[in-house]
Amino acid sequence: MITLRCVTKSYTVGDQELTVLKDVDMTIRQGEFVSVMGPSGSGKSTLMHILGCLDTPTSGSYQLDGQEVAHLTKRDLAEVRNRSIGFVFQNFHLLPRMSAVRNVELPMTYAGVKRTERRHRALELLEQVGLGARARYLPNALSGGQKQRVAIARALANHPRLLLADEPTGALDQRTGQEIMSMFQALHASGMTIVIITHDPNVAAAAQRTIRLVDGVIQEEDAG
């Protein structure tokens, strides 16, 4: 499903060139649950932005579902992000003035799903993550774990094939983090392909396989 070959990402800061990912090779098959671990600043988020088509490699090849991402137009990329990929972030990225159900509806709004259908599906998703009774709450009236559940429901809205999560338990206490991880494991059991970025070994252990990144280089891969 995902193939990276010799992917390098560099940023120019002032007159310095900073290479953040160095010759990264990676293959992720459909239905896999993979964690990416590494110290702060090792390039994990940069890698996730590339996997999520939010950013492009400086050099190298990224194929998603057999398509070379560099060959897609901006419009195609936006479409891939909206329809094929679900994103979950450390700080939830919910819109504060919108209720939980409207947050979950957003990706469907962008995809042109009709109002009644998207409301129905959003409520169904909130039910699925155990928040049916909180659908009309604003994010600020929800706990961290509940916010992340809303974010997961939103990530699932357009039936993505790939779920990308960047430190999804990073802002949560340990018990709540474990609840969120159980949710990812259940999604994996139902066939979802998941890539989760973390620096918590307990979180990484929930995945089938761990990829380690140090200073932008893949160090080792081990079975989880």
Q: Which residues would be at the binding site for ligand ADP (CB under 6 A)?
A: 11, 13, 18, 20, 38, 40-46
Residue 198 as a binder of Mg ion (CB under 5 A): the answer is no
Residue 160 contacts which entry, ligand ADP, Mg ion, none (Cβ below 5-8 A, type-dependent): none
Q: How many other C-beta atoms are found inside a 10 Å radius of the C-beta of residue 94?
A: 23
Q: Which residue number, 20 or 194, has a Cβ lying nearer to ligand ADP? A: 20
Q: CA nearest 86: which of 125, 52, 119, 45?
A: 52
Question: Minimum Å distance from CB 200 to Mg ion?
Answer: 13
Say which entry of Mg ion, ligand ADP, none residue 201 contacts (CB below 5 to 8 A, set by partner kind): none
- Which residue number, 28 or 150, has a Cβ lying nearer to ligand ADP? 28
Reported residue count of the chain is: 224
Residue 173 CB, nearest approach to Mg ion (Å): 20
Per-residue x/- track, 33-62, Mg ion (CB under 5 A): -----------xx-----------------
Residue 129: exposed, middle, or buried by beta-carbon count in 10 A (0-12, 13-18, 19+)? Answer: buried
Contact criterion met (CB below 8 Å) for 129 and 8: no
Grouping H, G, I as helix, E, B as strand and the rest as coil, residue 162 is strand
Q: How far apart are CA 224 and CA 222, in angstroms?
A: 6
Q: Distance from first CA to last CA of the chain, Å, rounded?
A: 20
> For residues 181 and 203, is the Cβ–Cβ distance under 8 A?
yes
Least distance to Mg ion, CB of residue 39, Å: 10
Residue 18 interaction partner, one of ligand ADP, Mg ion, none, beta carbon < 5-8 Å per kind: ligand ADP
CB of 103 to ligand ADP, least distance (A): 24
DSSP 8-class letter at 204: H
Q: Which residues bind Mg ion (CB under 5 A)?
A: 44-45
